[in-house]
């Protein structure tokens, strides 16, 4: 029994691979991982399918769109490199970050997080401070509950500060009342509330 070595054993799959390469610009490596075959095998399949010079140009363009860009998880603030298209849509690294970001906080927990951050930073935390700190509630939550970050800052007993570092050092009175938060983690401080 002679085995054919010119054709494909799986023409349907090969057509799919060729189609994805030409239409989406998926890299050979990614296609190999997706279909569980080697890079070299994918390269042969794609070559066998044929690629016109125009397609080649388009594929190169799509592949540059797929190139990795810096991305930050909205919850844990971990940085990664993701394909540009994914980076534009993805907000959290995984389900855990997603559910932690959307857990419900009481008003008092949100205020406690502001006070905790104020003690850590030495000034009233603004939007950027909240977004820049791992595990801190999103500034959007403060907007939702208090109408503005300034109102939330006042509700927490802080000197209002919209501009970020250096604008409003926390007062000695505030420090005296909440200094103990400096010895806690954010999680502990929010449990305290
Ligand atoms: Zn994350």
CA of 135 to the centre of ligand 1 (A): 9
Mean pLDDT of the chain: 88
Cα 132 from Cα 127, distance rounded (Å): 8
What's the rounded mean pLDDT across residues 47-72?
90
Q: Please give the structure tokens belonging to residue 82.
A: 């993701």
Cα-to-centroid distance, 87 and ligand 1 (Å): 13
pTM reported for the whole predicted model: 0.56
DSSP 5-36: SSS-S-HHHHHHHHHHHHHH---HHHHHHHHT
Residues 114-158 pLDDT 10s: 999 999 999 999 988 998 888 899 888 899 899 999 999 999 999
Q: Is 138 exposed, middle or buried (0-12, 13-18, 19+ CB in 10 A)?
A: middle
pLDDT at 6: 55
* C-alpha distances in Å from residue 181, one per residue of 35, 42, 100, 109, 126: 52, 57, 21, 13, 18
- At residue 1 the predicted structure's pLDDT band, cuts being 50, 70 and 90, is very low
As a whole-number percent, the residues of the chain with pLDDT over 70 amount to 93
Q: Which two tokens stand for residue 78?
A: 């971990």
pLDDT tens-digit series, residues 12-36: 999 999 999 999 999 899 999 999 9
What's the confidence (pLDDT) of residue 2?
A: 44
Contact call for residues 186 and 113 (beta carbons, < 8 A): yes
Output the pLDDT for position 107: 94
Residues within 5 A (CB) of ion ligand 1? 73, 75-76, 93, 97
Q: How far is the CA of 179 from the centre of ligand 1 (A)?
A: 29
- The confidence score (pLDDT) of residue 166 equals 59
- pLDDT at site 52: 93
> Taking Cα atoms as reference points, which of 180, 181, 160 lies closest to residue 169?
160
């Amino acid at each position: 029994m002679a085995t054919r070595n010119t054709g494909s054993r799986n023409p349907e799959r090969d057509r799919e691979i060729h189609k994805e390469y030409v239409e989406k610009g998926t890299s050979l490596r990614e296609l190999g991982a997706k279909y569980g075959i080697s890079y070299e095998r994918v390269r042969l399949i794609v070559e066998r399918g044929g690629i016109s010079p125009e397609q080649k140009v388009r594929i190169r363009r799509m592949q540059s769109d797929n190139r990795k860009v810096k991305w930050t998880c909205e919850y844990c603030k971990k940085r990664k490199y993701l394909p540009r298209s994914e980076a534009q849509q993805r907000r959290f690294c995984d389900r855990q970050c997603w559910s932690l970001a959307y857990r419900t906080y009481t008003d008092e927990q949100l205020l406690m997080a502001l006070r905790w951050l104020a003690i850590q930073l030495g000034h009233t935390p603004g939007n950027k401070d909240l977004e820049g700190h791992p595990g801190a509630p999103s500034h959007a939550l403060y907007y939702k509950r208090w109408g503005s970050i300034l109102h939330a800052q006042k509700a927490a007993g802080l000197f209002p500060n919209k501009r970020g570092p250096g604008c409003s050092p926390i007062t000695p009175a505030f420090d005296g009342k909440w200094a103990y938060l400096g010895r806690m983690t954010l999680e502990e401080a929010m449990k305290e509330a």
